[in-house]
Amino acid sequence: MRVLMLDQAKCTGCRACEYACSFEHTGKFNPLDSRIKVNEFWEDLTFVPSVCLQCERAYCEEVCPTSALTKNPETGVVELEKEKCIGCKQCIVACPWGSIKLDHTGKEVIKCDNCGGDPACIKVCYPDALSYEEVEDITNVKVLETATRLKEIAKDLVKGGA
Amino acid sequence: MIKGGFKGKLLRVNLTTKEVKSEALNEEWAKKYLGGRGYGTRLMLEEIDPKVDPLSEENKVIFATGPLDGTLAPSSGRTMVITKGPLNGAIASSNAGGHFGPALKHAGYDMIVVEGKSSEPVYIWINKGKVEIRFAREIWGKLADESDELIREQTHPLAETMTIGPAGEKLSRISSVMFNGHRASGRTGVGAAVGSKNLKGIAVRGNEDTTVADPEAFMKAVYKARDILSKDAFAGQGAAMLGTAMLVNVINGVGGLPTNNAQDAFFPEANKISGETLRENHLIRNEGCAECPIACGRVTVVKSGPYKGNIGGGPEYESIWSFGAMCGVSDLDAVISANHLCDKYGIDTISLGSTIACAMELYEKGYMPKEDAPFELRFGSGEAMLKAVELACKQEGDFGKLLAQGSYRFAEHYGHPELSMSAKKQEFPAYDPRAIKGMGLEYATSNRGACHVRGYGTAVEVLGDADQYAYEGKAALIKTLQDLTAALDSSGICLFTTFGLSANELAEMVSTATGFPIDAQEFMKIGERIWNIEKIFNLKAGFTRQDDTLPPRILSEPIKTGPSKGHVEELGKMLDEYYQLRGWDKNSVPTDEKLKELEVQILK
Ligand code: SF4
Ligand code: SF4
C-alpha cells in the first residue's frame, strides 16, 4: 500500500502542491479547494505541509451518519461518496488533524483521495518534500537514516579507541 | 470579454478622499501591455504628469499582478510595484516574489491603484473583495516584519501582506517595499513612494478561483515549462543548491565583481562570501515564492560570533556583493546581518551597500571630512560596514540620513558625484561593465536607472556562450533581452524562468491563460512596446540621451587586477547602434515610424 509522505524539512513553502491539487479536482486554481495545505510560520520561515493521513481508525468515518466516508481496505484511502454526504460537517469536527474540510463555497466537504493513486501534488514538488511511497519503504528509509548517524558515531568511537 | 488569466478588475483606493472603487480592466491595454509593469506604466502615462514630484500627492503607486499570478505557472508569485521613482524621478517598477500577488487575484483584483495621501498612517485591508482603510497609528514606526505580524493579527492570520519599514516611512530614496515581511521590491525607492502616502501596508485575502482560458492547453504548457526548468543547470540545479549566491565565485572568476567601490573588479577573498560558504555555514533551508520550482530563496542564520542568532531571508548574490566585495568586506556574518537588518527596516541592499562603499572611498581619499563620519570608514571593515547600515536604516545623525538618500546624493554632497557607481542616480549591481560589456549598455539604457533585471546580459555573456569582452552583437542582445524581460515582468512570473524558458514557452503559457493570440513574436513585440512607453514617460519627465551613461570610472579607469585586468567599458561602441536597432533617433527619441509600428503613436 502506498501513502503520501511529508518531509517538512524539505518544504520550501511554494504551495505549488495546493494549486496542483485544486486544479486536479476542480479545473481551477484555488488554494481553498486544495486537499493539501501548506502552513507557514513566517516568524521562523518554516513551512509545514499537512494532508489527510488516511487513518486506520478514521474518526471522520466513525462519526459520519450516512456512511459517506468509508475506508477502502485495498488502497487504504478513506473515500468520500459525494452523493451520500449531507454536509453536516461532523467529520470536520472529528478529524484530529484538520485534514477534511469545506471547499471555497463553504458548502461542499472535500478530502484527499490520493488522486486515485497518482497524486498531483507530488508531481510539482521539486524538493521532494512530498512523496508517494510504499509503507515498508518509508520505514526502511527512516531506519537507514538512523543507522547512518550511528555509523558516524561508531566510526568516531573507533578513532577515539585507536 | 476577459476569458482567463486576468480577473478583469482593478481596485482604486484614494487615500485623500478615502474613496474606494472597483473598475473594469481596460481590455485593450491588457492585450497590448499584459499586466504588471506594462499595464501599470500605461496607466501612469494616462493618469499622472511625468513631471510631478515622486513624493507628492499627485504620484500614484500601483501594485500589479500579471495574468499568470495565481496559477500553477512556475514562479508566478510576482507582485510589481509601479510608480514614479523617488530615487531618480524616472518611471519605476520593482517587483518581489512571495504570495501577495496570487492572494490579490483570489481576492478578486488584478491590481490596486493607490492615489492621494492620507492625513495619518493607515493600512488597507482587502478581504474577499471588501476593502477597508484602517488606522495604523500603533504600527507606524514598526519594522517591516513586525508590521506584517501586527497587521495579520488585526486582520487574518492567513492574510498576505505588503508593508514598509521605518526607512520608507522616513522617505529614504533607497527604501523598499516588503512582502510577507521578508520579500523585497528593493529598487528605485518605492518604499518612499508608499511612505509619502502615509500608507503602512496592505493585507489581502480572498476565496475566489483563478481561471485560465484553455485549462488543458495551459497545464500542458505549464508542465512543459516546469520540466525544462527543473533540468536547467542554473535554475534547476545551481540555484536550488546554492541560491543566487552561486554567482559570487562565478563572476569573480571572470574578473567582473566590482570591488572597493569598483576601484577594482576582482575580490581575492570572494570565496569567504560565496554561495558555497553560505551553504556550508549558514543555510537553514531553501524558500520558494508561489509555485516556484527553483526556490532560490535562502533562510540563513549566523551561528556564532558577535552577530550570533541573526536569522532571516537571503542574502541574495547582489546583497552579498554590495555589503561584501563592494565594501571590501569578507566577513560573511556581517554581510548576512546587514542584509537581515535592511529587510527589517525596508531598505534596498544593493543601493545601501554601494552607498556605504562610496562613503568609504570619499573617506579614505579625504574628500569627506573625517569628523563627518561617526567612526573610521575603511574598506574591509565588516564592523564599520554594519554600523553604517544601522545608522542608515535608522537614519540617525546627518551621516545616517545622508546615506539613506543613496550614493549619488551622498557623493554630490561632498562634491564628487563621479564616485557614485550609478546610472540615472541608481546604484548598479554586482556585474562590472568593464568586464561584461553588455551589462554596461544595459545599466546605461535601463529606464528605471542602473539595474540587472532589465535584460540580464550576464546570462548569455558569462553563463552562456557569448564573449564577455566583445562589443559586436551586444546592442542587439541587450535590446532583445530588455524586450523579453519587459513582457515577462508584465506576465507575473519571475525573471529566473528565462534561464530555461524562451519566448516560445512564455508565450504559450500567456496565450493559453488569457486566450489572447500571442505567439513568441507577439510576446516580444509587447515587450518592445512596453520599453518604448517607459522611454516616453522618461522623455516627458525630462530625461535625455545624456542620462544614458555610466560613471566616468567605468568608462576610463581600467580594471587593476584579476582576469579582466586592463579593461574599460567603451559604451560609445554600442550606444548608437542600440538606438538605431530600437528605431530611435540620435537623441534617444523613438521615431514616429517606430511608434506607429508599435501602435503607441498617440502617446508622444
Ligand atoms: S510543493 Fe512541495 S515544497 Fe512546495 S509547498 Fe508543497 S510540499 Fe512544500
Ligand atoms: S480526514 Fe482526518 S480523520 Fe479522516 S482519515 Fe483523514 S486524517 Fe484521518
Residue spans per domain, chain B: 9-205, 244-426, 429-598
Residue type, A25: H
Specify the residue for cell string 477597508.
B132
Task: Tell whether A73 lies on the interface with B, counting CB pairs under 8 A.
Answer: no
Task: Tell whether A45 lies on the interface with B, counting CB pairs under 8 A.
Answer: yes
Alpha-carbon gap, residue A60 to A95, rounded angstroms: 6
Task: Tell whether A89 lies on the interface with B, counting CB pairs under 8 A.
Answer: no
Quick check: B72 and A30 CB within 8 A?
no
Q: A56 near B332, Cβ under 8 Å? A: no
Q: Which ligand does the CA of A61 lie closest to? A: 2
Which residues of B fall below an 8 Å CB-CB distance to A? Answer: 70-72, 99, 106, 145, 148-149, 180-182, 207-212, 215, 219, 223, 226, 230, 236, 240, 284-293, 295, 297, 299, 311-313
Does residue A18 register a pLDDT over 80?
A: yes
Give the pLDDT score at B235: 79
Nearest CA in chain B to A20: B72
Q: Whose CA is nearest to atom 2 of ligand 1?
A: A125
Quick check: A42 and B230 CB within 8 A?
no
Q: Per CATH, which fold does A2-134 belong to? A: Alpha-Beta Plaits (3.30.70)
Ligand 2 center to A94 CA (angstroms): 8
Quick check: A19 and B297 CB within 8 A?
no
Helix (H) or strand (E) holding B23: strand B19-24
- Greater model confidence, A143 or A59: A59
Q: Whose CA is nearest to atom 8 of ligand 1?
A: A11
Q: Torsion-angle region of residue B298: left (phi > 0), alpha (psi -120 to 50) or beta?
A: beta
3-state SS class at B62:
strand
Does residue A29 register a pLDDT over 60?
A: yes
Residue A14 is nearest to which of B180, B288, B313, comparing CB atoms? B288
pTM: 0.94
Residue A29 is nearest to which of B210, B286, B299, comparing CB atoms? B210
Alpha-carbon gap, residue B537 to A17, rounded angstroms: 41
Residue A19 is nearest to which of B180, B181, B291, comparing CB atoms? B291
Span B9-205 CATH architecture: 4-Layer Sandwich (3.60)
Question: Helices B474-491 and B503-514, interaxial angle, to 10°?
Answer: 30
Burial of B316 (0-12, 13-18, 19+ CB in 10 A): buried
Ligand 1 center to B250 CA (angstroms): 29
Q: What are the angstrom distances between the C-alpha of A160 and each of A147, A149, A151, A156, B478?
A: 20, 17, 14, 6, 60
Alpha-carbon gap, residue B342 to B542, rounded angstroms: 31
Ligand 1 pocket test, candidate residues A4, A47, A131, most atoms within 8 A of CB: A47
Alpha-carbon gap, residue A97 to B298, rounded angstroms: 29
Alpha-carbon gap, residue B298 to B316, rounded angstroms: 8
Quick check: A127 and B286 CB within 8 A?
yes
Q: Who's near A115: CB < 8 A, 6+ residues apart?
A: A24
> Which of B209, B219, B300 is the mutation pick for testing A, counting most A CBs within 10 A?
B209
Residue type, A160: G
Task: Tell whether A98 lies on the interface with B, counting CB pairs under 8 A.
Answer: no
Nearest CA in chain A to B209: A30
Quick check: A29 and B211 CB within 8 A?
yes
Alpha-carbon gap, residue B117 to A41, rounded angstroms: 33
- All residues of chain B having their beta carbon less than 8 Å from the beta carbon of residue A47 are 287
Give the pLDDT score at B266: 96
**Does the CB atom of residue A3 touch ligand 2 within 6 A?**
no
Q: What is the CA radius of gyration of chain A?
A: 19
Quick check: B211 and A32 CB within 8 A?
no
Nearest CA in chain A to B181: A42
Q: What is the pLDDT of residues B230-240, one digit of tens each?
A: 888 777 787 88
Q: Whose CA is nearest to atom 8 of ligand 2?
A: A55
- All residues of chain A having their beta carbon less than 8 Å from the beta carbon of residue B287 are 12-13, 45, 47
Cell for B181? 515581511
Task: Tell whether A50 lies on the interface with B, counting CB pairs under 8 A.
Answer: no
- All residues of chain A having their beta carbon less than 8 Å from the beta carbon of residue B291 are 14-16, 19, 124
Ligand 2 pocket test, candidate residues A37, A64, A78, most atoms within 8 A of CB: A78
Alpha-carbon gap, residue B279 to B447, rounded angstroms: 35
Residue B289 is nearest to which of A14, A27, A127, comparing CB atoms? A14
**Does the CB atom of residue A124 touch ligand 1 within 6 A?**
yes
Alpha-carbon gap, residue B205 to B400, rounded angstroms: 37
Ligand 1 center to A125 CA (angstroms): 5
Give the pLDDT score at B139: 97
**Does the CB atom of residue A11 touch ligand 1 within 6 A?**
yes
**Does the CB atom of residue A54 touch ligand 2 within 6 A?**
yes
Measured from the Cα of A59, ligand 2's closest atom is 3
Task: Please tell me the number of Cα atoms within 13 Å of B507 on its side-chain side.
Answer: 15
DSSP state of B236: I
**Does the CB atom of residue A111 touch ligand 2 within 6 A?**
yes
Measured from the Cα of A98, ligand 2's closest atom is 2
Alpha-carbon gap, residue B210 to A25, rounded angstroms: 14
Q: Per CATH, which fold does B429-598 belong to? A: 1.10.599
Quick check: B70 and A29 CB within 8 A?
yes
Nearest CA in chain B to A34: B209
Q: Per CATH, which fold does B244-426 belong to? A: 1.10.569
Q: Whose CA is nearest to atom 4 of ligand 2?
A: A60
Ligand 2 pocket test, candidate residues A6, A52, A64, A112, most atoms within 8 A of CB: A52
Give the pLDDT score at B240: 80
Instruction: Name residues of chain B where pLDDT drops below 50.
Output: none
Q: How many CB pairs under 8 A join A and B?
A: 92
CA B121 and chain centroid, separation: 26
Q: B4 near B514, Cβ under 8 Å? A: yes
Task: Please tell me the number of Cα atoms within 13 Å of B248 on its side-chain side.
Answer: 31
